[in-house]
């Protein structure tokens, strides 16, 4: 679908916010807290990109979508395009909202943990939880107040639930273990932000005994170190046709399939968003994503072919 950029502003240092509306002013498709949209972009060199952005607005207001976008120094083109090339009045192609990061059912306790730009999905979550009357807290960790997107709105709307942690201020550094110690045992924990922040929160939650069923996360990037020295080739078998495709040591499954004329829908290409998730019929995966839960990775029934590989000589995918 197409939308128009009806507003764009500098929300914080290195972060721009964009408001998107339907071309005819009609309501946009409904979304739930935690949802994202895929935005189709074009870099300055003409390369087509698809990038996922969390919806930061109020889910009850479908007259507009709101995005917050961090300018990444190591951007592969997406954040640079959103900052430098997309302007108010432009028309963008987007996909319908999808949600891989939903809230637990009404009536639960919730603790939201946002690191930096990870605040974007938490904005919609906090708004929904407040409207539902659920008990929740919101921890927001930033390097400086200048880099704290939506701070004024958060302080105004969620003053009783907000815990701001500012690295540059005395005593402001975020302590994940201390935060977990204050939670009730049945609390659902949600986390989004840089990987080091998310690892700290999830590690502290597990150490505190929070069950996996109560842990919810969404990565913006995959910064986990990958040791590729021992990578070798393997064969992907397409279950629907029996076609065998060789994946070289320096190829991803998605790249090898595309070269063979089989397109797999992708977005982040880092094992973050889950767009390309595929069922495994046979074979042993070598998981390199940050999307699947530890249990899902151990089960070996799913794979993200944009980044993960096979440990077995061949792997049969439900394609």
pLDDT digit string, tens, across residues 65-101? 999 999 977 666 678 889 989 999 999 999 999 998 9
pLDDT of residue 174: 95
Considering the domain boundaries, does residue 248 fall inside one? Answer: yes
Last residue in a domain, options 174, 191, 219: 219
What digits encode the pLDDT tens for the residues 205-240? Answer: 999 999 999 999 987 665 555 556 678 999 999 999
Per-residue pLDDT tens digits for 133-161 = 999 999 999 999 999 999 999 999 999 99
Domain end position, chosen among 64, 94, 124: 94
Lowest-pLDDT range of 137-146, 167-176, 278-287, 290-299: 290-299
Quick check: is 82 in a domain? yes
Domain span including residue 125:
109-219
| CA–CA separation, 258 and 263 (whole Å) | 5
**CATH number for position 141:** 3.40.50.80
Domains in the chain: how many in total? Answer: 3
Question: Do 312 and 243 lie in a common domain?
Answer: yes
In terms of domains, do 84 and 131 share one? Answer: no
pTM of the predicted model, to two decimals? 0.78
Q: What is the pLDDT of residue 222?
A: 58
Check whether residue 245 and residue 196 sit in a common domain. no
9 lies in the same domain as 81: yes
Domain assignment present for 250: yes
In a domain, 274, yes or no: yes
Q: Are 41 and 77 in contact (CB under 8 A)?
A: yes
245 pLDDT more than 60: yes
268 has a pLDDT exceeding 80: no
| Whether 82 and 130 share a structural domain | no
224 domain residue, yes or no: no
* Residue 18 domain flag: yes
Quote the Cα angle for 166-149-201, to 5°.
55
Q: Could you write out the three-class secondary structure of the chain?
A: CEEEEEEEEEEECCEEEEEEEECCCCCCCCCCCCCEEEEEEECCCCCEEEEEEECCCCCCCCCCEEEEEECCCCCCCHHHHHHHCCCCCCEEEECCCECCCCCCCCCCEEEEEEEHHHHHHHHHHHHHHHHHCCEEEEEEEECCHHHCCCHHHHHHHCCCCEEEEECCCCCCCCCHHHHHHCCCCCCEEEEEECHHHHHHHHHHHHHCCCCHHHEEEEECCCCCCCCCCCCCCEEEEECCCCCEEEECCCCCHHHHHHHCCCCCCCCCCCCCCCCCCEEEEECCEECCCCCCCHHHHHHCCEECCCCCEECCCEEEECC
If asked whether residues 83 and 115 sit together in one domain, one would say no
Instruction: Verify that 212 and 294 share a domain, yes or no.
Output: no
For residue 29, what pLDDT is reported?
A: 97
Provide the CATH number for the domain around residue 9: 2.40.30.10
Asked if the structure places residue 229 within a domain, the reply is no
- Same domain, yes or no: 49 and 14: yes
């Amino acid at each position: 679908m197409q939308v128009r950029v009806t507003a764009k502003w500098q929300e914080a240092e290195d972060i721009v916010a964009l408001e998107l509306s339907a071309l005819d002013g009609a309501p946009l498709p409904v979304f739930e807290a935690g949802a994202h949209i895929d935005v189709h972009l074009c870099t300055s060199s003409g390369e087509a990109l698809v990038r996922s952005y969390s919806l930061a607005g109020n889910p009850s207001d479908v007259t507009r979508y709101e995005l917050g976008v961090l300018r990444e120094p190591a951007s592969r083109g997406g954040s640079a395009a959103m900052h430098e090339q997309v302007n108010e009045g432009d028309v963008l192609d987007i996909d319908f909202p999808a949600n891989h990061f939903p809230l637990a059912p009404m009536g639960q306790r919730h603790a939201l943990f946002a690191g930096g730009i990870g605040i974007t999905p938490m904005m919609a979550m906090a708004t929904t939880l407040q409207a539902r009357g659920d008990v929740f807290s919101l921890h927001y960790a930033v390097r400086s107040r200048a880099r704290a997107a939506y701070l004024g709105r958060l302080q105004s709307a969620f003053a009783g639930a907000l815990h701001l942690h500012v690295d540059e201020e005395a005593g402001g550094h975020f302590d994940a273990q201390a935060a977990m110690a204050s939670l009730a045992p049945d609390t659902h924990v949600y986390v989004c932000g840089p990987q080091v922040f998310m690892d700290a929160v999830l590690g502290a939650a597990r150490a505190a005994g929070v069950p996996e069923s109560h842990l919810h996360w969404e990565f913006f990037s995959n910064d986990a170190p990958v040791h590729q020295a021992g990578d070798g080739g393997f064969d992907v078998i397409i279950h629907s046709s029996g076609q065998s495709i060789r994946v070289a040591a320096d190829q991803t499954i998605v790249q090898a399939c595309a070269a063979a004329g089989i397109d797999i829908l992708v977005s982040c290409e880092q094992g973050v968003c889950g767009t390309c998730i595929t069922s495994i019929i046979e074979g042993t995966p070598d998981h390199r994503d940050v999307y699947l839960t530890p249990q899902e990775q151990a089960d070996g029934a799913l794979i993200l072919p944009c980044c993960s590989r096979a440990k077995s000589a061949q792997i049969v995918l439900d394609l």
